[in-house]
Chains A and B, each alone.
Chain A
Amino acid sequence: DAKTTQPTSMDCAEGRAANLPCNHSTISGNEYVYWYRQIHSQGPQYIIHGLKNNETNEMASLIITEDRKSSTLILPHATLRDTAVYYCIVRGINTNAGKSTFGDGTTLTVKP
């Protein structure tokens, strides 16, 4: 699975959009981009995933660049409860969900 690079930390004002970048320049054509988050001392929570098209669900939007070398997770209206560590993971189509390689993630702090 391709390696990902994320900023160590980011701040965001409550109510504003939080844009979390992820670089995956070595991604191959059959690898998906997954995002999880982990609120302090809880298990990681799945957010969203995509292959090459932009995706949106009730939690967030995922924007993947045309060359697929980077992506951005967007939380449209961040709340204090969105403060967490956000992990960007790249996983092959044939790699089972149970075997994911987590990097250090981005610690997002939402401030009032």
Chain B
Amino acid sequence: KAGVTQTPRYLIKTRGQQVTLSCSPISGHRSVSWYQQTPGQGLQFLFEYFSETQRNKGNFPGRFSGRQFSNSRSEMNVSTLELGDSALYLCASSPGQGNTEAFFGQGTRLTVV
């Protein structure tokens, strides 16, 4: 069974640009969550999508957005990039119902210069 796939693995962008990251969940999983990890703030929840609808949202500015497609694949977008957006962005996949574990991808390392 294939795991969670995130693309790209590494990305370098310039301040002010926008970026789109992609996550393909485990087959059959309907929930995709996104996390930001930085050395100073640790792992922080961004948002969760279930069946194409945002179900939960963390405390991040509106520059951070996401969506989920009918095949459960998800994208997150960050507009008007700031230096502080440099981080490891992690995607987690889960069935979406019931108390189960989440499976994480390897992450996308975004560097804003």
Contacting pair A42 B106 (CB below 8 A): yes
Contacting pair A32 B99 (CB below 8 A): yes
Query: Quick one: given A43-B90, A44-B90, are A96 and B48 in contact (CB under 8 Å)?
Result: yes
Contacting pair A96 B88 (CB below 8 A): no
How many A-B Cβ pairs are below 8 Å?
A: 70
Tell me whether A53 is interfacial, beta carbon within 8 Å.
Answer: no
Contacting pair B94 A97 (CB below 8 A): yes
Residue from A45, A91, A102, A103 within 8 A of B99 (CB atoms): A91
Contacting pair A96 B107 (CB below 8 A): no
CB proximity of B105 to chain A, nearest CB, Å:
5
Residue from A42, A96, A102 within 8 A of B94 (CB atoms): A96
Within A24-69, which residues are at the interface with B (CB < 8 Å)? 32, 34, 41-46, 49
Please tell me the number of chain A residues within 8 Å of chain B, measured between CB atoms.
23
Give the complex CA separation of A43 and B45 in angstroms. Answer: 14
Contacting pair A44 B104 (CB below 8 A): yes
Tell me whether B8 is interfacial, beta carbon within 8 Å.
Answer: no
Tell me whether A101 is interfacial, beta carbon within 8 Å.
Answer: yes
Residues of A within 8 Å of B95, CB to CB, are 97
Contacting pair B88 A98 (CB below 8 A): no
Residues of A within 8 Å of B109, CB to CB, are 41
Query: Quick one: given A32-B99, A96-B50, A98-B94, are A43 and B56 in contact (CB under 8 Å)?
Result: no
Within B60-104, which residues are at the interface with A (CB < 8 Å)? 88, 90-92, 94-97, 99-104
Contacting pair B103 A96 (CB below 8 A): no
Measured CB to CB, the residues of B under 8 A from A are 4, 31-33, 35, 42-45, 48, 50, 55-56, 88, 90-92, 94-97, 99-107, 109
Measured CB to CB, the residues of A under 8 A from B are 32, 34, 41-46, 49, 87, 91, 93, 95-105
